[in-house]
Homo-oligomer: A and B are copies of this chain.
Amino acid sequence: MSDRGAPATIRDVARRAGVSTATVSRVLAGIGNPRTETADAVMAAVVALDYRPSAVARSLRMRRTNTFGLIVTDIQNPFFPELVQAADDAARGVGYSILLGSAAYDEHRAVHYLDLMADRRVDGMIVASSRVSDESWRWLAASPVPVVVVNAEPANVPITVITSDNRGGMQLAAEHLVGLGHRRMAYVRGEEGITADQPRVEGFRAACRAAGIPASDIVELHGNAQFEGGERAVAELVRSGLDVTAIACHNDITAIGALRALRAEGVRVPHDVSVIGCDDIAAASWVVPSLTTVAQQKAEMGRMAVERLLAMLDAGVGGIAPATIRVPMVLQVRESTGPAPTGGVRP
């Protein structure tokens, strides 16, 4: 066998096969026309020694690591795992791996991973985190390694961005509700300053306006993009006696919090009030009633990010100009939305 402490090196293989290291390298890479005899000897030695070429040494020599860095806002946020999986699939398919960093909503950690990935000489980076300082965005944009930003939109920085069409998505949501006859509605916003917050609420309002609904008929509530935020905001709304027939939420987690608050207050969904979310996380189809939502195409975005990176690598320096790609969202109708009741909230 092999494993006597240190792993076998290419020299061990060469010696055992009675050839030079160059030949071993060539045979393994499928370069040139080695004599069958030679190739066989090499392969035999490889098997006998359980030889695995060191990716470390190869990276040093080749000046590429075949690795992409991927930084996400928070791997515990159910939005990200699907993106990560898709990116990894796409990368694996072309011989790349993903080095993952979860910033856990902390800017310092995001910076830590930025540094880490630079140190590790990743061949490209995907930054799917909005918790990044302007300074870091500029640093990234100026970096010689290809960078793709996902679901964040650094202002005034020339960098490639792939993002869901948040505005268009929430327009879809509003149109869906309006189509069901809703006119007096509430909108629970996400956290202040979060990238998607502004475009989403704007899209919602724009579609309402287009439908002839006065802006004053839309009441804005403040959530925090978390379960508790949605729960609290909607509980207060109900207790304050405001009568709306539909509630749109910044994201699914907020909407699920809203569902719970409505349930607690004895408001039936969708009979009395309709609820719509955004993102389409797994739990959206688990809750009762299951949540109508506008889905982000997470897998698609993960795949696109990797493909873009590969294209940039392929094109070399300055080959591909930074662009912003807006991925459409798609309406996912489930049980939590229905026709507007003719009376008020509590018939």
Contact status A260-B288, CB under 8 Å: yes
Contact status A143-B3, CB under 8 Å: yes
Residue-wise interface mask of A (89-120) relative to B, using a CB-CB cutoff of 8 A (1 in contact, 0 not): 00010000111111010000000100110111
Which residues in B have their C-beta under 8 angstroms from that of A57? 60
Distance in Å: Cβ of A346 to nearest Cβ of chain B: 19
Nearest-CB residue, chain B, relative to A264 = B288
Nearest-CB residue, chain B, relative to A100 = B100
Contact of A116 among B82, B97, B112, B227 (CB under 8 A): B97
Contact status B84-A121, CB under 8 Å: no
Contact status B60-A85, CB under 8 Å: no
Nearest-CB residue, chain B, relative to A98 = B100
Distance in Å: Cβ of A275 to nearest Cβ of chain B: 13
Asked whether A7 is an interface residue with its Cβ less than 8 Å from the other chain, the reply is yes
Residue-wise interface mask of A (251-274) relative to B, using a CB-CB cutoff of 8 A (1 in contact, 0 not): 001001101100100000000000
Asked whether A324 is an interface residue with its Cβ less than 8 Å from the other chain, the reply is no
Name A163-182 residues within 8 Å CB distance of B: none
Contact status A56-B59, CB under 8 Å: yes
Stretch at the interface among A73-81, A153-161, A211-219, A303-311: A73-81
Contact status B121-A56, CB under 8 Å: yes
Q: What are 5 residue pairs bridging A and B, where the CB atoms are less than 8 Å apart in the complex?
A: A78-B282, A81-B81, A85-B104, A98-B100, A260-B288
